Amino acid sequence: MVTIRGYRPDDLPALYDICLTTGASGQDATALHSDRDLIGQLYAAPYGVLEPEQVLLAEDDLGVAGYIVGTFDTDGFAAREERDWWPALRQRYAEPSPALTAADRQRIAAIRTPERNPADIVAAYPAHIHMNLRSRLRGQGVGTMLLQRWVSMAEAAGVKGIHLGANASNVGGVAFWQRSGFVPLQTIGRTVWMGMKLKD
């Protein structure tokens, strides 16, 4: 039995852990990182802290096992991160430990200089999302349930479109998004940018 529910502050550790254990194109990225928090600092935790009302969780008998996080206003969220999220992390990682892996260092570089989503895509599809599920929830329609709930919230808020970036090597993930109504817009490096229109 899987329940879709809103976010609570005590769910933050689950966001970090799910992000890490699905962070290699849907597979476990734990072996790539000596700092277990780094990937979550970029792709999950800031949403729980800064815009918890835009976070939905999938929970089964074993606990929280999936999430969809995002924002209705990508540019506004980036400004909030710059003001309220990145400064403390830049201080935390100002003197990187020699024990850090190459993947850790790549994430720290992204904290220092966050990548901006393509401006033309943001203009047409101002909301964006990230979604991850533990393997035990996959193939049961849970991702579809999370997405549909999030899309309904976005529509109620008057959002005109949603975008996301998927790793091109995550073939199953890209196929899921296309089945769910997202259209590939452009590929930059390893990222396939996709969008879904909600209204004209």
State the DSSP code for 198: -
Per-residue model confidence as pLDDT tens digits over 93-134: 998 788 899 999 999 999 999 999 999 999 999 999 999 999
Low-confidence winner among 48-52, 127-131, 172-176 (lowest mean pLDDT): 172-176
Q: What is the pTM of this model?
A: 0.94
Question: Would you state the pLDDT for residue 137?
Answer: 94
- Three-state DSSP at 131 gives strand
* Domains located in the chain, CATH noted: 3-197 (3.40.630.30)
Q: What is the CA radius of gyration of the chain?
A: 16
Length of the chain: 200
Check pLDDT > 90 for residue 199: no
Token pair of 194 as six digits: 């996709």
Question: Would you state the pLDDT for residue 26?
Answer: 87
Check pLDDT > 70 for residue 29: yes
CA dist., res. 95 & res. 98, Å (int): 9
Q: What is the mean pLDDT of residues 84-96?
A: 94
Q: What is the mean pLDDT of residues 35-44?
A: 96
Question: Would you state the pLDDT for residue 97?
Answer: 85
Question: Would you state the pLDDT for residue 200?
Answer: 62
Taking phi first (over 0 means left), then psi (-120 to 50 degrees means alpha), and beta for anything else, what does residue 190 get?
alpha
Q: How many CB atoms lie within 10 A of CB 111?
A: 17
Tokens 């997202």 belong to residue:
182
